[in-house]
Structure 1
Amino acid sequence: MDGTRLPRGGLAAFATGSFGMGIWVTVPGLLLLYFLTDVLAVAPLLAGAALLVPKIADVVLHPWVGTVSDAGLARHGSRRRLLLAGCALVLPFAALFAVPAGLSGPAAAGWVAVAFVAGNLLFAAYQVPYLSTPADLAIGYHERTRLMGFRMVVLTVGILASGLAAPLLAGREDPTRAGYATMALVLGGLMLAAMLAGVAGVGRLAATAPLERPRSGPALLAALRDRQFRPLAGSYLAMSTTSHLVLAAVPYYTEYELGRPRLTTVLVAAFLAPALLATPAWVALARRWGKQRGLLLAQAVFVAGCLVLAAGAAAGVAVLVAAVAVLGVAFAALQLLPFSMLPDVVAASGRPESAGSYTGVWTAADSLGGALGPYVYAACLALGGFVAGADATAQPASAVTWIRLGFGAVPAALMLAAIVLQRRYRLDASASAGEPAATREAV
């Protein structure tokens, strides 16, 4: 394998793009379901559908964007044009939360759904070529982990910063339409600046380890037929669904199960801060144990943490915060390792020039998981008889029960499914064989 070592400056610039991506991934996942049900008075199942349908469209859009990205690389020698187009994501991001004053209920759900479709398409235009970079570059097994380790640290900072700032900007315990609109404008500006920096970072890395110009057409069918890619992507779909469910559930869990809405910020911080600190440790563990074994360990740890959360308020706030912190440690690996395994699969496929096609299918699974998570939790709310727009005293006991189970037991079951799928992945040992020692240095 190639022993090229990427410069830290280029890695940092590239990783900065993930700060903007973290805002898009976090804010809608954390607040949009709550915004629909508790501010816009949309019924839970309709609110879940407004988030699910645009994401289902991504199953088609993302692979198509992947073929467009590969074609751009073949024609121009880079994926830069598509990356720049994706920076327009800031516009639909603002529109998601700037719902006109006269809209509520089904009409508001329709507005959000349309804005979400536009946002998801532009996010794909950025995400697919951005995440194709590790497979494009002439680097080896461990250097891909190092590259994605830098990305994971900055992504976590973006998730943490936006996850803490968004509820505060929206109005803390009494969020308003105006507060949500202000939040979207402020965070949208930060998103744009970070994404532009990421575009520059891709160029700097390509100057060190040149991209391979495609020699053939898109390989969408090859990606779908790849026996190593399918279990990896399927497991990541379950992981993505689980993590997005947990994010969507936090405001409900703190308000209705714990009776302390201010704990939303505490739990988000407890989830994300350990992920930031744990990333270098997961990079080192993957170098010693391999990515597959590290990922299976992280999945098992996540299941254990979720089972503690299923106990609810009876476990005590300190225990619950500690359990969320454990989830955060596991979450770092759930983001780092699958994304560094994806370029390993592309390299092993014999079609490294078609990284965009593989990445398009991958990000479609990621996006679908981003919708399934909130929708599954919305289904839990509906099953419990949750009353949209009502305060805690007006909710039936069954709603509170399913708010708790949806935050603990359901994510545990989904992560167990991810483990079953992940165990079918067999590439890791052969992918790491013969890796040059020069690429095994610390991040």
Structure 2
Amino acid sequence: MKSEKLPLKTKLFYASGDIFGGGAFNIINFFYAIFLTDVIGLKMQYIAPILLIGKIWDAVTDPLMGFITDNTRTRFGRRRPYLLAGTFLVFISFFILWYPASFPNQLGKFIYALIAYIAFTTVYTMVMTPYTALGAELTLDYHERTSLNSYRLAFSLAAGLVCAVLPMLIVNAFSDIRTGYIMMAITFGLIFSIPWIGVFLFTKERKEFSKEKSAFNFFNMFFEPFKIKSFRLLIAMYLFAYLSIDVVSTIFAYYTKYYIGNEGLLPIALGALFITEIVFIPFYAFIAKKTSKNISYILGALVWCVAGFILFTLPPDVTMFHIILMAATIGAGVSGVAVMPHTIFGDVTDVAELKFGKREEGTLSGLMTFVRKVASGLAVAGVTFSLGIAGFVNPIDGVEQLQPESFLFALRFIISFVPIILLVLGIIAAVRYPLNPKRHEKLREYLEAKRENETIKEELEKEITELKKELI
């Protein structure tokens, strides 16, 4: 059985699509809540329902988009037409999201922010669901999937680094903060939209995976994949890792501004975090190749947990060096828990083919992000609502107000211990994850023989029967 080596050109152009996937929500997670409170003037308590409603809408549309892309048939394939459409729609939706509209009351501000957020998440789903599904079929090789997704994460984290540092530099370059946000939206709208042209032109889909259409069945689409043990454990690893990322991202700007008292420290700390994430990608890829992907995940989660404990002990007058060191250590952990679920996803689609007899990467991708976004919406809404209850005081006429001790303690607890709790749950799932390189090699050999209608060796049939018990 030959190895499926992907050309470097294919890896690079495919990976460039995650400039949008990794960058857009970093800007949103780090700066959108504080944009709504400090620029739009929306009260903290109203941000929670915006994020919750938007996330739930986003989540519901993911599996629907997965079904749509699985059953799309065009001369450009099942996935790529939606990526081309993203070139225009990504720019428009991102610009609207950050347009500092003026309304005289809280209701008007709330409605505008909600519509803008829903419009953006709809476009995000339309593009990223087929994009993720496409990656699972570009190569079927266990290690090439790790390589492909390592390139993808490198682009994602590089975008995350730029999106952590550059937005506020652009905003603050203008005397009028509203003009600054408009220019930031235009700049990043272009950065996020242009790469999709390259993804469309320089990737190919497998025609053999496009033969059979599926009838729409709501129950099967939402619940059948959860019968697969490997998929359930992947969902858990992915969910707990990215919930941790979402929670920290949402409040990091508040932590540096109101607890540390140094708003200018934010881009420096985020820069250290994302640079470390990028640097450690080859390390975790190496560990995954030498052992397995779930081991890399566990290692990254443990590093982050240690950093979280230390972070809680830091006083507000801590030196810049200590904050940068903590951010870098967290980044070293995030690198492992962020990349591995994406590399594992492709392997789990093979397990699903073993279970159902057909390829449904889009449906699995949509369902995976559905679960994450519902949980993320609840978690982020809970965090922002909790900070409001804890006593956050909005700036008055652009002037920051003294924050109560209850709010500052809530910041410290959430940024430190909530990720630890979530990551421990992720580690438990990773320990139980059953697929390793040796088992995947047998699985791939069996699936390739089935696709070619070849006679299956009796020994392989026995091995697959036993393997089903472990994987499904």
TM-score strictly above 0.5: yes
Contact 2:4 2:141 (C-alpha < 8 Å) held by counterparts: yes
Report how far residue 429 of structure 1 moved.
5.5
Could you tell me how far apart the structure 2 residues matched to 1:342 and 1:313 are?
40
Residue of structure 2 aligned with 1:406, choices 398, 408, 414 = 414
Q: Which amino acid aligns with 2:408?
A: V
- 1:420-431 matched pairs, under 5 angstroms: 420-428=428-436, 431=439
Could you tell me how far apart the structure 2 residues matched to 1:316 and 1:175 are?
31
Change in 2 beyond 3 A, CA 1:2/1:222: farther
Change in 2 beyond 3 A, CA 1:128/1:307: same
2:313 match: 311
Q: Deviations over 1:330-364 (max 9, x none)?
A: 21222211001011011012245211100111122
Secondary structure of 2:370 counterpart: helix
1:335 match: 338
Change in 2 beyond 3 A, CA 1:83/1:96: same
- 1:61-100 matched pairs, under 5 angstroms: 61-73=61-73, 77-87=77-87, 88-100=89-101
Could you tell me how far apart the structure 1 residues matched to 2:76 and 2:188 are?
32
Report how far residue 388 of structure 1 moved.
2.2
- Which deviates the most, 69-78 or 285-294? 69-78
Report how far residue 82 of structure 1 moved.
2.0
Report how far residue 113 of structure 1 moved.
1.3
Q: Deviations over 1:49-102 (max 9, x none)?
A: 211211111221100000001001588643122222333122111111113223
Report how far residue 370 of structure 1 moved.
4.6
Secondary structure of 1:78 counterpart: coil
Report how far residue 425 of structure 1 moved.
2.2
> Aligned pair count?
432
Residue of structure 1 aligned with 2:287, choices 285, 288, 301 = 285
Note if 1:380 corresponds to 2:381: no
Q: Deviations over 1:96-127 (max 9, x none)?
A: 11132235533222211111111111111111
Change in 2 beyond 3 A, CA 1:278/1:363: same
Change in 2 beyond 3 A, CA 1:40/1:138: closer
Contact 2:277 2:331 (C-alpha < 8 Å) held by counterparts: yes
Change in 2 beyond 3 A, CA 1:63/1:33: same
Contact 2:5 2:139 (C-alpha < 8 Å) held by counterparts: no
1:273 match: 275
1:170 match: 171
- Which deviates the most, 210-219 or 380-389? 210-219
Contact 1:86 1:124 (C-alpha < 8 Å) held by counterparts: no
Q: Deviations over 1:261-311 (max 9, x none)?
A: 000101110110011111111111100110011111111211111122212
- Which deviates the most, 231-240 or 245-254? 231-240
Change in 2 beyond 3 A, CA 1:389/1:372: farther
Note if 1:37 corresponds to 2:43: no
2:12 match: 12
2:298 match: 296
Contact 1:21 1:195 (C-alpha < 8 Å) held by counterparts: no
Bigger RCO of structures 1 and 2 (CA < 8 A, at least 6 apart):
1
Report how far residue 321 of structure 1 moved.
1.8
Change in 2 beyond 3 A, CA 1:57/1:346: same
Q: Which amino acid aligns with 1:217?
A: S
- Which deviates the most, 174-183 or 190-199? 174-183
Could you tell me how far apart the structure 1 residues matched to 2:370 and 2:404 are?
37
1:213 match: 210
Give the percent of matched residue pairs that are identical in Structure 1 and Structure 2: 22
Could you tell me how far apart the structure 1 residues matched to 2:443 and 2:3 are?
8
1:193 match: 194
Q: Deviations over 1:356-404 (max 9, x none)?
A: 1001111223433553453233133123211122555521111111122
Note if 1:135 corresponds to 2:136: yes
- Which deviates the most, 143-152 or 216-225? 216-225
Could you tell me how far apart the structure 2 residues matched to 1:327 and 1:175 are?
34
- 1:214-229 matched pairs, under 5 angstroms: 214-217=211-214, 220=221, 221-229=223-231
Note if 1:397 corresponds to 2:408: no
**Unaligned regions of 5+ residues in structure 2, if any?**
445-472
Contact 2:230 2:351 (C-alpha < 8 Å) held by counterparts: no
Contact 1:33 1:47 (C-alpha < 8 Å) held by counterparts: yes
Report how far residue 410 of structure 1 moved.
2.0
Contact 2:58 2:370 (C-alpha < 8 Å) held by counterparts: yes
- Which deviates the most, 223-232 or 143-152? 223-232
Q: Which amino acid aligns with 1:412?
A: I
Note if 1:357 corresponds to 2:363: yes
2:24 match: 24
Change in 2 beyond 3 A, CA 1:39/1:325: same
Change in 2 beyond 3 A, CA 1:419/1:392: farther
Q: Which amino acid aligns with 1:121?
A: T
Report how far residue 17 of structure 1 moved.
1.0
1:238 match: 240
1:345 match: 348
Contact 2:231 2:348 (C-alpha < 8 Å) held by counterparts: yes
Contact 2:174 2:180 (C-alpha < 8 Å) held by counterparts: no
Change in 2 beyond 3 A, CA 1:211/1:170: farther
Contact 1:381 1:399 (C-alpha < 8 Å) held by counterparts: yes
Could you tell me how far apart the structure 1 residues matched to 2:242 and 2:74 are?
31
Contact 1:144 1:340 (C-alpha < 8 Å) held by counterparts: yes
Q: Deviations over 1:140-176 (max 9, x none)?
A: 1111111101101111111111221111112279882
Q: Which protein has the larger Cα radius of gyration, Structure 1 or Structure 2?
A: 2
Report how far residue 317 of structure 1 moved.
3.4
